[in-house]
């Protein structure tokens, strides 16, 4: 059986096989670039016992990252926003403000920049479940925007 673990540039250029491999890698590169344009969100507080408070990120191959938050009514969830470094100029737009509320927060801590190693204060938000239902939250930052699909459980 032939091995398929070869690098794409090890075959002579011009062959149809090599062109197909180029196309595949270009697509993967484009997908990675597209998903990398959105801020990353991660939870920094736990759920209280018997209640739900979670934030997860879906990383589709050919589109931007999708964030899904799930929390119980009355429960608060703190999360950070980073895009290489902490997000700045954060603004949220909630499709149904009766379901969830988002507030700015201050965590007394610093985040290390992935490239420059500069330390910058965390960019934190607190999400509070107000009523059962589903809604979307658009988070705009100076570094980009993203959508959070929020589900509030009874």
Partner 1 sequence: MQGPIAVGARIAPTIDLDVRGSGAPSLHLASSRPDVLATDGSYLSARSPGVAAILVSMDDGTVLDFFHLWTVEPSRISLHTLDRDRKRRGEIDDVVELMVGDSIYVTPVIYSGNQELAGSAETTWRIDSPVARILRDGARDRRRVVASAPGRATLQVDALGLKSSFELMVVSR
How near is the Cβ of 126 to partner 1 at its closest, in Å? 5
3-state secondary structure (DSSP) of residue 8: helix
How far apart are the C-alpha atoms of 6 and 3, rounded to whole Å?
Answer: 7
How near is the Cβ of 7 to partner 1 at its closest, in Å? 49
104 touches partner 1 by CB under 8 A = yes
How far apart are the C-alpha atoms of 131 and 77, rounded to whole Å?
Answer: 15
Q: Which of 84, 98, 109, 132 binds partner 1 (CB under 8 A)?
A: 109
How near is the Cβ of 129 to partner 1 at its closest, in Å? 7
Q: Which of 22, 24, 62, 74 binds partner 1 (CB under 8 A)?
A: 74
Strands 133-141 vs 66-72: parallel, antiparallel or unpaired: unpaired
C-beta separation of 40 from 86 below 8 A:
no
C-beta separation of 61 from 33 below 8 A:
no
Q: Which of 105, 120, 144, 151 binds partner 1 (CB under 8 A)?
A: 105
Sites of contact with partner 1 (CB under 8 A): 45, 48, 51, 72-76, 78, 101, 103-106, 108-109, 126, 128-130
């Amino acid at each position: 059986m032939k091995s398929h673990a070869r690098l794409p540039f090890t075959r002579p250029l011009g062959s149809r096989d090599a062109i197909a491999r180029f196309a595949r890698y270009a697509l993967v590169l484009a997908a990675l670039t597209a998903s990398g344009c959105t801020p990353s969100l991660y939870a920094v507080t736990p759920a209280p016992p018997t209640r739900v408070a979670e934030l997860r990120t879906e990383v589709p191959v050919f589109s931007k990252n999708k964030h899904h938050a799930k929390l119980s009514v009355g429960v608060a969830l703190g999360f950070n926003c980073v895009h290489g470094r902490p997000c700045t100029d954060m603004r949220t737009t909630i499709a149904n403000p009766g379901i969830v509320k988002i507030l700015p927060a201050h965590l007394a801590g610093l985040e290390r920049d992935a490239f420059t190693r500069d330390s910058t204060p965390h960019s934190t938000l607190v999400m509070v479940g107000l009523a059962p239902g589903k809604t979307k939250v658009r988070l705009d930052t100076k570094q980009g925007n993203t959508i959070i699909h929020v589900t509030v459980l009874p």
